[in-house]
Amino acid sequence: MAERRGGRLDTPQEHRPLIRTPSYDRDAFGIFAEQFARYMGTARFLFWMTVVVAFWVGWNTLAPRHLRFDEYPFIFLTLILSLQASYAAPLILLAQNRQEARDRLVTEQDRQANARGHADMEFLAREVASLRMAVGEVATRDFLRSELRSLRDDLVEAEGDEAATSA
């Protein structure tokens, strides 16, 4: 039987896409996106972004014409800020999606814990009810005392009757 490079003739070949896409670690990329989104939401980021933009505007407004690198009405600055926004938005959305997935998992775990707690409470309620019913059938200390007193009184009466009949 002839062998093929990919395997045997009687087994189908694996389907391989015509264009190979690069592979990446989704968790590592997701962690990067979360860290990036977390950093962009800080006062430090806003401060440094403001410093860079103020420097850019100041330099390209106040510097001599031959030293300016964005002479037109800040077209290059607009391009840089648009580029930053075009990368920041998907990274922030990815971070939000990961957070939503974590929240969904925590919610499901909380729901399961609540269901277990509810089942445990129902079981304990049934046990307490059965104990109450069993305790209702058990003689109490006061009941036993009253029964023993009445037996003692009956014995005292019986002894008194015996003494009266024998005399």
pLDDT at residue number 1: 47
The CA distance from 35 to 2, in Å, is: 54
The CA distance from 133 to 74, in Å, is: 85
pLDDT at residue number 100: 93
Lowest mean pLDDT, pick from 39-53, 54-68, 138-152: 138-152
Each residue of 119-136: pLDDT tens digit?
999 999 999 999 888 877
The CA distance from 89 to 24, in Å, is: 20
Residue 2 has pLDDT above 60, yes or no: no
pLDDT at residue number 167: 65
This model's pTM is above 0.85:
no
pLDDT at residue number 6: 56
pLDDT at residue number 159: 85
When the pLDDT of each residue in the chain is averaged and rounded to a whole number, the result is 86
Task: Compute how many other C-beta atoms are within 10 angstroms of the C-beta atom of residue 162.
Answer: 10
Average of per-residue pLDDT across 131-160: 85
pLDDT at residue number 20: 79
Amino acid in position 71: E
What does the domain layout of the chain look like in residue ranges?
A: 26-156
Average of per-residue pLDDT across 133-148: 83
